[in-house]
Chain A
Amino acid sequence: MTPALAVEGLTVGYAGAPVLDELALTVAPGEIVALLGANGAGKTTLLRALSGLTAPRAGRVLLDGADLTAVSVEDRARRGLAQVPEGRSVVTELTVDGNLHLGALWRHPGRAARRAAVARTYELFEPLGRRRASLGHQLSGGERQMLALGRALLARPRVLLLDEPSLGLAPRVVAQLLGVLRAAARDTGLTVLLAEQNVTSALSVADRGVVLSLGVVVADAPAAELAGDPALRHAYLGF
């Protein structure tokens, strides 16, 4: 079966000091994979390279078997590769409604279709429904991440990349967010690659865990195994 996402020999960074070093990775359709590793291991760089924001020096990225090398950032998004980038991703100058409509734009041509899709998102993420007219910068951290997630899902992506969604959020909010994510993924067959420093939460929703260290994959195992194996945890996850 063609992997939903495949990375081959990806090298990103400077000649003498690559950030990603001939990295290889595959994600099967419908899988939720947790991408783990310390700060600086290369998680964000990998996600940026997948979306096309950073150009690799070598290697390639395949979405459903199609080579994305010559495809622009926005076209990758339109082909179904969505990303919720780290931290600053809600457009603060727009309202909640504006942000959602932005996400729904190209996938739902036509006002009625867009309004319906956005309405469904409000049902899924209740707190957002109550703050439709609020500007992005008036939301709390948790609400912003919820908005970013809802916005990304509106485009009905094939593959969703998330970069540290739990950063700066309370554990309860994180659990809620990841719960929604997992449910949405199960419902739509969405493939998810979740980069996280919060290992426990990530492994609790993921099927598989991939550990990155200094730009290469050092461990690739089912989530339960990773969570349960003390040796692996010590070696790569620090606890």
Chain B
Amino acid sequence: MDRLVFLTATGLARGLVVALFALSLVIVWRAARLVNFAQAAVATVAVFAAFAVTGATGSFWAGLGAALLAGAALNAAVERGLMRRVPSGSPLPGMIVAIGLVMVLQSALGIAFGPRHRPMAAAFDERPLVVGGVPLLSPYDLFVLVVALVVVGLLAWLFNGTSLGLQLRASAAAPEVSRLLGVRVPRMVTLGWALSGAVAALAALLLVPTELGLNAHSADLLFVHAFTVAVLGGLDSPAGALVGGVAVGLLVSLVTGYLGAGVAPLAVLALLTLVLLVRPGGIFAVGEVRAA
């Protein structure tokens, strides 16, 4: 029973990180109607930036700021430099370009930094607090929880409560009509990408200290999990990303705890397959059906 509680608590915390990353995918989907396969690679570059800055200044928060900036800037550059040139009409070229970008970024990181996993120190203690004899969340998990909820709240406020958010949503939903109303749609699309990059960077930054270490492939698994979440929740639903993230986090935590870490990817694959076959629209999806 203790074990269950502990696994559930950690699953929740991990799930929120995955949910954050999934949220970043949702933002890009809403802005550009595509799945940004390069998101994890961009996030990894941002975490390397944070690593370098924290190493140089000794400050975690400076590193965090660097990661957010790097993620935003890189994603914006990708959108303006690459994605705009992709022929529309079929999602295929966009996917292929994103994959090419992943290869370029990951190999560049590999060349620059080598294959070694660099351990990253967590900002807070990672040992779980013991409450009433039951190990629960660690201070780090609590930090993750707080950050994730704050970010989700901020994004919700931005998109639903501000005029900038209104423009972002309108640009994504109806770009032509928005332009006719004077909205600077290209700028909004870039902004959406930048925002998404920052959120993805944050998620990866929260994740890496809890894993083996930082290397070029750190975020690969995160991407697969987040993609599963996005599919589970429906790519256009932030609420779905949240719920789906927690669900996947719990699943991974429980499977790892009871069946071993090796089985977790299989469980995620099984879940993904199940959802795609049974509810192709995603459990919370509002809009686009993704059946062929």
Query: Contact residues of A with B, CB < 8 Å?
Result: 51, 53, 72-74, 77-78, 82-83, 85, 88-89, 91-94, 98, 101-103, 105-107, 114, 151-152, 155
17 sample A-B contacts, Cβ–Cβ < 8 Å, listed by A number: A53-B176, A73-B179, A74-B185, A77-B181, A78-B182, A82-B180, A88-B177, A93-B173, A94-B169, A94-B173, A102-B183, A105-B166, A105-B181, A106-B182, A106-B183, A114-B163, A152-B181
User: Which residues of chain B in 177-222 are interfacial with respect to chain A, using CB atoms and an 8 Å cutoff?
Assistant: 177-185
- Given the known interface contacts A93-B169, A101-B166, the answer about A85 and B177 at a Cβ–Cβ threshold of 8 Å is yes
Instruction: Please tell me if the beta carbons of A74 and B176 are within 8 angstroms of each other in the complex.
Output: no
Query: Roughly how many angstroms separate A155 CA and B181 CA in the complex, as a whole number?
Result: 8
A-chain residues with CB within 8 Å of residue B176 when the two chains form the complex: 53, 73, 85
Query: Roughly how many angstroms separate A151 CA and B174 CA in the complex, as a whole number?
Result: 15
A-chain residues with CB within 8 Å of residue B169 when the two chains form the complex: 93-94, 98
Instruction: Please tell me if the beta carbons of B166 and A94 are within 8 angstroms of each other in the complex.
Output: yes
The 5 closest A-B pairs by CB, nearest first: A77-B182, A73-B179, A93-B173, A91-B174, A78-B182
Query: Roughly how many angstroms separate A53 CA and B178 CA in the complex, as a whole number?
Result: 12
Query: Which of A51, A98, A101 is close to B180, meaning CB atoms less than 8 Å apart?
Result: A51
Instruction: Please tell me if the beta carbons of B177 and A105 are within 8 angstroms of each other in the complex.
Output: no
Query: Roughly how many angstroms separate A149 CA and B167 CA in the complex, as a whole number?
Result: 19
Instruction: A91-B177, A94-B169, A155-B181 given; name 16 further pairs at CB < 8 Å.
Output: A72-B179, A73-B180, A85-B180, A88-B174, A89-B177, A91-B173, A91-B174, A93-B169, A98-B166, A98-B169, A101-B163, A102-B178, A106-B182, A107-B182, A114-B163, A155-B182
What's the interface size class on B, roughly?
10 to 19
- Given the known interface contacts A92-B173, A93-B169, A94-B173, the answer about A83 and B182 at a Cβ–Cβ threshold of 8 Å is no
Residue from B167, B173, B177 having most chain A Cβ neighbours under 10 A: B177
Q: What is the 8 Å Cβ interface bit string for chain B, positions 77-96, against chain A (1 contact, 0 not)?
A: 00000000000000000000
Instruction: Please tell me if the beta carbons of B180 and A77 are within 8 angstroms of each other in the complex.
Output: yes
Pair count A-B, CB < 8 A: 71
- Nearest CB of A to B240, in Å: 15
B-chain residues with CB within 8 Å of residue A105 when the two chains form the complex: 163, 166-167, 181-183
Query: Roughly how many angstroms separate A93 CA and B172 CA in the complex, as a whole number?
Result: 10
Query: Roughly how many angstroms separate A91 CA and B180 CA in the complex, as a whole number?
Result: 12
Measured CB to CB, the nearest residue on chain A to B179 is A73
Instruction: Please tell me if the beta carbons of B166 and A102 are within 8 angstroms of each other in the complex.
Output: yes
Instruction: Please tell me if the beta carbons of A102 and B170 are within 8 angstroms of each other in the complex.
Output: yes
Instruction: Please tell me if the beta carbons of A74 and B170 are within 8 angstroms of each other in the complex.
Output: no
Q: What is the 8 Å Cβ interface bit string for chain B, positions 231-261, against chain A (1 contact, 0 not)?
A: 0000000000000000000000000000000
- Given the known interface contacts A74-B185, A101-B163, the answer about A91 and B170 at a Cβ–Cβ threshold of 8 Å is yes
- Nearest CB of A to B174, in Å: 5
Measured CB to CB, the nearest residue on chain B to A83 is B180
- Nearest CB of A to B36, in Å: 20
- Nearest CB of B to A206, in Å: 22
- Nearest CB of A to B181, in Å: 5
Query: Roughly how many angstroms separate A155 CA and B185 CA in the complex, as a whole number?
Result: 17
Instruction: Please tell me if the beta carbons of B184 and A74 are within 8 angstroms of each other in the complex.
Output: yes
Query: Which of A74, A92, A93, A94 is close to B182, meaning CB atoms less than 8 Å apart?
Result: A74
Instruction: Please tell me if the beta carbons of A94 and B170 are within 8 angstroms of each other in the complex.
Output: yes
B-chain residues with CB within 8 Å of residue A72 when the two chains form the complex: 179
Instruction: Please tell me if the beta carbons of A74 and B173 are within 8 angstroms of each other in the complex.
Output: no
Query: Roughly how many angstroms separate A89 CA and B58 CA in the complex, as a whole number?
Result: 53
Instruction: Please tell me if the beta carbons of B163 and A103 are within 8 angstroms of each other in the complex.
Output: no
